[in-house]
Amino acid sequence: MWPNFSHIYIEEGAEKYPLTDVILSKFSNTFCVTVHHYKDIFNRPQQNFQSQKRSMKLILAVKKDNLVYDGSEFSQSMGHDNFYYNSMILNCVYNCDYCYLQGMYGSANIVIFVNIGDFFSAVVEKLQKPMYLAISYDTDLLAFENVIPLCAQWIEFTRAQPNLTIEIRTKSANFKSIKSLEPCDRTILAWTMSPDEVVEKYEKGTPPLRRRLEAAKEAIDEGWKVRVCFDPVIRIDHWKEYYSQCVQTVFEKLEAVKLYDVSSGVFRMNADYLRKIRKQRQDSDVLYYPYVFDKNAASYPETIKNEMNLFIQNLLLQYLPSTKVFI
């Protein structure tokens, strides 16, 4: 599944971090190039996201600012007041048609920030009160774990910080990469579950529902807190049938009482990102639904959104109490 990177660009200064050695040891035959600043490569003008996606390069860099962000309006805080996220990796090994990263970045190359200690320090500064931190943001961190064990390091860090809870959201089936760790009760492993019709059509490169479920089941059996996310819900033809079947399959495989909670949300995206993606590609109908552009966001018209949310909510309430369902 891992791309065979032809080049690894290394920002000046990044070479001295242990994570750089870990990554380079996995790609010993790859051509390495030193660059002054990662943005010299990543932010070059006139790049085409989807053509680059077919031949991604790896960029190792040091992040100097914005090591923790306030929670975004497009993400779910799951009832937490003190909600933050961070981005140690920019871009993803997967290539979902509806992914906002295509509009957020000009480049599909993968940037890994190797100064994890600075990310930890930035979190510690905010830990006077309980903090909820989404660490698999702008990427799928668990999918990278075989190359760079960031989830493991974050889990161990979290274990030592009583005020910190982290969420690791994933579509991967890669639980085995962290299976040897002791479960941490302030780490939530959150699997996005989608009907296979959606996976095949729109979630390119991701494991099918069956494999995600096997991974989630294994995590639950090992004692981890597991969240299931139906997000984004996409209004494909026969969507009611597909999502009904998907929800049923999930709860046949996973015992509802053992789930930490379940969340769901319909497709939504920053409006400027969607406009930008539409200029770049015309090959996916999910990008061309007649969404409503409302201030910053593009999503389904209100009545359709409400219908979809209510439908999924009613499906979930057959298995879970309302206190465990976040729409």
Interface positions with ligand SF4 (CB under 6 A) = 92, 94-96, 99, 101, 139-140, 171
- 130: Cβ contacts below 8 Å, ≥ 6 apart: 80, 82, 163, 164, 165
Measured from the CB atom, the residue of 124 and 297 that comes closer to ligand SF4 is 297
Q: How far is the CB of 140 from ligand SF4 (least distance, A)?
A: 4
Distances (CA, A) of 281 to 31, 193, 221: 30, 26, 42
Query: Radius of gyration of the chain from Cα atoms?
Result: 19
What token pair was written down for 82?
């003190």
Q: Provide, for the chain, the percentages of residues in helix, strand and coil under a 3-state DSSP scheme, each rounded to the nearest 5.
A: 40, 20, 40
CB 23 within 8 Å of CB 32: no
Kindly give the residue spans of alpha helices, DSSP state H, lying in the chain: 18-26, 38-42, 49-53, 101-104, 116-124, 150-159, 196-202, 209-221, 239-253, 271-280, 302-317
Measured from the CB atom, the residue of 87 and 115 that comes closer to ligand SF4 is 87
Measured from the CB atom, the residue of 92 and 111 that comes closer to ligand SF4 is 92
Q: How far is the CB of 92 from ligand SF4 (least distance, A)?
A: 3
Distances (CA, A) of 270 to 97, 236, 276: 15, 21, 10
Measured from the CB atom, the residue of 17 and 227 that comes closer to ligand SF4 is 227
Q: How far is the CB of 31 from ligand SF4 (least distance, A)?
A: 26
Measured from the CB atom, the residue of 95 and 187 that comes closer to ligand SF4 is 95
Q: How far is the CB of 203 from ligand SF4 (least distance, A)?
A: 6
Measured from the CB atom, the residue of 133 and 234 that comes closer to ligand SF4 is 234
Q: How far is the CB of 141 from ligand SF4 (least distance, A)?
A: 10
Q: How far is the CB of 49 from ligand SF4 (least distance, A)?
A: 11
